[in-house]
Structure formats: C-alpha cells, structure tokens
Structure 1
Amino acid sequence: MSGVTMKNVIKRYGDTQVIHGIDLKIEDGEFCVFVGPSGCGKSTLLRMVAGLEETTEGEMHIGSRDVTRMDPSERGVAMVFQTYALYPHMTVRENMGFGLKMNGYPKAEIAEKVAEATRILKLEEYLERKPAALSGGQRQRVSIGRAIVRGPDVFLFDEPLSNLDAELRVEMRVEIARLHKEIGATMIYVTHDQVEAMTLADKIVVLRKGVIEQVGAPMDLYRDPDNKFVAGFIGSPAMNFVQGTVGEGSIDIPGIGQSVPATIATAYKGRKVSAGLRPEHLVIDPAGDVLRVDLTESLGGVSYAYLEAPTGERIVVEERGDDRVREGERVGLSFEPKRLYLFDAETEARIRS
C-alpha cells in the first residue's frame, strides 16, 4: 500500500485551466476526502490520480513511483464509480473475479481473493445472484468487492453513494468506514456531501474552482476554518454570516442587536466584517424582541428555527429540549463571545485575534 503525492499538479482543457497547481500529500493508509461544490474540480483531480485524465503539468506519485505518465492499469489503483457498472449477465462471484480472470490469474487464486472480499463485505449469500436481484446498496458493495480483489495500492471512490436513498447512504457510509478500518488501505473519496466528509475522513481537502482552500482533520476544519468559504461549507446546517462593524474592542452586529466584545487589530477599526455564528452555538432568548421567527423545522430530538433579523439577514438556530419557539414569535439571541468567527468582508479570509 502507498500514499499519494501531488506536486504543482495542473489540468487544462485547451485554453481552460480547471486545476490550478495542487500540492498535496496523502499518507499511506489515510482516508482522504475531496469535498466541495459541483464544478470545483474534485472528480477531475481523482481521475488524474487514476490516470483517466492526463496531468497537464506537475507530478503525480503513488508511493515512490512517479506515475504521471503511466497508464491507469500500471498505477496500482482501483476505482469505485457512482454507477455500479456491473455486468448484468454475470453473477456476483463472476463480476468480482472478472478483472482477475481477464488478467490471467489462476482460478484458485481468483476464488481465494473473491472469498476474502466476500467475507469483508458480507456478501456470501448473494454470490450466485445477478445484479438485477440485488438492492442498490448490495450492488455498490459488489462494486467495492471488485476493487478489493485487485489488491490495489490506492482505492478511489467517485461519489459512490449518490445513487442510493438516504437510509442506504448511511448504511454504506458505515460499511466503507469499517472497510477502511479492516484493510487499512489508502483511500481517496470524492463527495459534495460534507456530512460524508466529516464522518469518513482522516483528512479533508476542501476545493473551490480548482484550488485547495484548506486541508485538515474534520474537526480542525470545523473549529478553525481559514476563510468564510470553508466555514460555510463545513458544518450542517451551515454557519450563519451577518454583517458587523469593528468598534473599540467590540464588534457591533445590528442583525442580532448586540455589540460583542472582541479583540481585533486596530487596522480594522471602523471597517465592515462578516461575523460567523454556528446554529448550534446560538441560544434563543424568548424575552428578547429583535428577531422574528419566520419558520421552524422539527426533526424530533432537534429543531431548527429560521429567524429574520431587522437587517433582512436570515439566521438559523438549533434548538433542543422541550421548550421551542413558534413561528411568528419575536425573540433575542445569546452566545459565548468566544464562539464568534470574524472574516474580512472583502477577501473573506479569517480574522484571528
């Protein structure tokens, strides 16, 4: 098994550049997730690792090997796609072993590898079924099993759960996490779903417009985002952003009707900033009269209140417990000042005290 190293990796389609000088090191055995909005370049970057997209400039290494110009079959990778791509006329057993059969592996070795993958993925009772007789989750497990039997250095997952319903997504997410724990292989996983990223990853790479915005462990990105984009993308529901003005040792935030103590560089005095507050860090004050409750969503153990500020800004608040606000009520907000994130209104870079 091997890690992956990218050195100033660039991808162009004609005159259009879509990947802009990526430098990244993924350690051996690490579960790395590429996450970002549609069109950010995450699938393109994954396909460049696989060799399905040519690297225009820069270097791509898997372990100690420079694979930049190698064919996909020479790279030691296995890819699991969004679509299952199973042969409909073959059984599960035949689908999983087909790649090895085509490469001339002995029947006994193929049977041994298929049996091991079957054990890991708990597919024993489905071996003689054909894809049409399987659920979506079972088909995706077969697709993963086909990758396992190849014994690759690196597993690549391109949004493998996006075709599944909500319940199966959760189930398969657990299966993939367990798989990584059992076989300990290097895995690179692409998703636009930050919940998948947070729950699966050892390392998250946040991409936007072909550029890395931040790399780190899930909770490091959640607790210490470098910019407004990462702060808004990591966390569910997303962080609230309201406009504030820097005063003398405080931030005036009209949207919540408060002036919050804050230590900030004197160069920012009098300037506009974007103040970030996570829904789970806010507490509704029923005695207040600053914001109007526009909408509530109850999910049982938790609910979300959508508040309209006097400035027209929208603020989402997470509520737990039995006493929850109702639509149309007027309320205030409170929070610990240390929970306030500040971002430059122009560059969107994080302002750290």
Structure 2
Amino acid sequence: MSRVELTNVIKKYGETQVIHGVDLQIEEGEFCVFVGPSGCGKSTLLRMVAGLEETTGGQIQIGARDVTTADPAERGVAMVFQTYALYPHMTVEENMGFGLKMNGVPKDQIAAKVGEASRILKLDEYLKRKPKALSGGQRQRVAIGRAIVRGPEVFLFDEPLSNLDAELRVDMRVEIARLHSEIGATMIYVTHDQVEAMTLADKIVVLRAGYIEQVGSPMDLYKDPDNKFVAGFIGSPSMNFLNGTASGGTVTIPALDGMQIPCPASANGDVIVGLRPQNLNVVAADSPIKVDLSEQLGGVAYDYLKTPTGEKLVVETKGDEVIAAGTSVQVQFDPATAYFFDPATEARLR
C-alpha cells in the first residue's frame, strides 16, 4: 500500500477546465471516498490517478514515485469499474487470473493468488462457474478479486455498486468495508451516494464543479460543514434550509412563525438557517405550519411540513405514529443544533 498525493492537479478538455488545481493527500491504508453530484469531476479525478486520463497540469505521486505521465500499468493501481467487464467465456477462476497469465506469471503463483482472493471474497464455490451463472453482486466480487490478485499499491473503485439493486448494494458495501479491514490497502472510491461515503470512508472528499469543497472524516463533515453545499450534501435526509433575518445575535425565522433563536455575532441581515431533520420535533399546536405528508418507514417516520412562507421542511421522528395530513404543528429544536450560512457566498457563519 502507498500514499497518494495530488498537487495542483488540473484537467482541461480544450478550453474547458473541469478540474481546478486540486491538492489532496491520501495516507497509506486510508479509505478515501470522492463524493459529489453528477458532473462534479470525481470520476475524472479518479481516472487521472489511474492514468486513464492525461493530466493537464500539476503532479500525481503514488508512494515515492511521480506517476503524472506514467502509463497505467506502471502506476501500481488496480481499478474496479461500474460495469463488471468480465470475459463471458471464462470461468470465475480464469477471469481473476487472466491478467497475471498475460504477464507470464507461473501457474502455481496464479493459483495461489486467485485462491487467496477467492477466500477473502468468499468465491470458492463459484470458481468453476461462468459470469452468466452469477448474480450481479457475485460478478462484482469477481471484478474486485481480479484487482486483488494483481497486488496493487492502490485500489480504485469507480461507482462499483451503481448497477446493483438496493439490497445487493448494502451487502456489497459491507463486503468492501470488510475487504479494506482485512487487507488494509489504500483505496480511493468514487460515488454520488453520500450514504456509501458516510459508511465506508475514513476520509471524504466533497467535490463540486471540479473544486474540492471540503475534506474530512464522515462525522467531521456531518457535524462541522464549511458551507451550505457540504451541509446539504452530507446527511440523509438532507439538511433543511430556511431564510432568516439576523440582528444583534438573534435570528428571526419567518417560516417557523417568527421564531427567534440565538445566532453568531457574524450573522447580520439576511441569513440562511440550516436545521437537520434528525434534530427537529413536532407537536400538535395552533400554528400556520401544517403537515403535508407523513411517511412511515417502520421505526422512523418523515414528516413533510408546509410553512407560511412556502418553504419546505422535513422532520425525522422515531416510532410508529403517523401524523395526519393537514394537522397544525409547532416545530421544536435545540437552538444549539442550528447552522447559519451567508446567502451570498454560502459560507458557514460561526
């Protein structure tokens, strides 16, 4: 396993710049997740590390080596793609060992490496099957096994679970987390799913429009976002954002029937108030705030509220109670759990 360092990395397609001077350090053995909306540059950045995209500017270093212009085969990386890319006429065993075979590795060494990867991924009973006889999750495990047998310094995953159904996604997420725990390799993982990012990562890199918005551990980003974009992207359901007016250390929130709560001294005039659904509670009351819809998911429910200003509000509640649509409610929360953002720059006000 090796450290990965990106220094002022730039990517342009003609005159269009899509990656803007990215600086990033990924430590040995770290599980780093690139997350962001479609088109933010996360897959492009991963492909630049892999050598599948040329770097327009800056430097990429893996371990002690500058690999900025190195061929993909010389970088010591193995990539797992969204599509499994298995050879349909080969067995699982043959698919996993094919790359080593093409490199002239002796048969006994190939068998040993495939056997170890198969043990890690629990594929022993499928080694003689062909891909058409496997489920989607099993095929993805074979693709991961093919990467393992190469013994790379760095594993790269490009949205590997996107083609799986919801249940398989959860199962494979657990498999990948267990894999990282067992082999301790440096891993870089791309996803647009912030739940995958939160559950897998040691370090999350939040990207938007080719820029890094924030880097940190999952809980650091959840509890201490630097801006409105990160606050809204990390966490499920997403953070609520309401308009407010701040003056003298107090903010008034019209959507909450003029509720006033303390705010930072740096907040003055128009301000955006961020409230996580998990931190809110509702009680029946004579109020202009009404329940629009209540979703019961078993042990948790999501209440979608209409406010007098037309702003939407989602509240997460525990238990099996369903609040009838049209019920008037009052929203309660600890003011210390509120976040504040500048509406012009979207920067966090502290």
TM-score by length of 1: 0.98
Residue 220 of structure 1: how far off its partner (Å): 0.4
Separation in 2 of the partners of 1:122 and 1:11?
39
Match for residue 264 of structure 2? 264
Contiguous gaps of at least 5 residues in structure 1:
none
Residue 288 of structure 1: how far off its partner (Å): 4.2
Q: 1:112-143: per-residue Cα shift (whole Å, max 9, x none)?
A: 00000000000000000000000000000000
Q: 1:252-291: per-residue Cα shift (whole Å, max 9, x none)?
A: 001012433324226x43x100000000000002124131
Residue 298 of structure 1: how far off its partner (Å): 1.0
Q: Does 1:275 align with 2:276?
A: no
Contiguous gaps of at least 5 residues in structure 2:
none
Paired residues, number = 350
Separation in 2 of the partners of 1:284 and 1:308?
13
Large movers: runs of 4+ above 6 Å = none
Residue 326 of structure 1: how far off its partner (Å): 1.5
Alignment of 1:1-353 (within 5 A): 1-265=1-265, 268-269=267-268, 271-352=269-350
Contact 1:12 1:56 in 2 (8 A): yes
Residue 247 of structure 1: how far off its partner (Å): 2.2
Contact 2:292 2:306 in 1 (8 A): yes
TM-score by length of 2: 0.99
Letter in 2 for 1:35: V
* 3-state SS of 1:84 partner: coil
Q: What RMSD over aligned residues (CA atoms) do the two structures have, in Å?
A: 0.9
Letter in 2 for 1:315: L
Distance 1:120 1:312, change over 3 A: same
**Percent of residue pairs bearing the same amino acid type:** 71
Separation in 2 of the partners of 1:254 and 1:288?
16
Which moves more between the two structures, 286-295 or 256-265?
256-265
* 3-state SS of 2:9 partner: strand
Separation in 2 of the partners of 1:116 and 1:260?
61
Separation in 1 of the partners of 2:104 and 2:237?
51
Distance 1:244 1:259, change over 3 A: same
Letter in 1 for 2:341: F
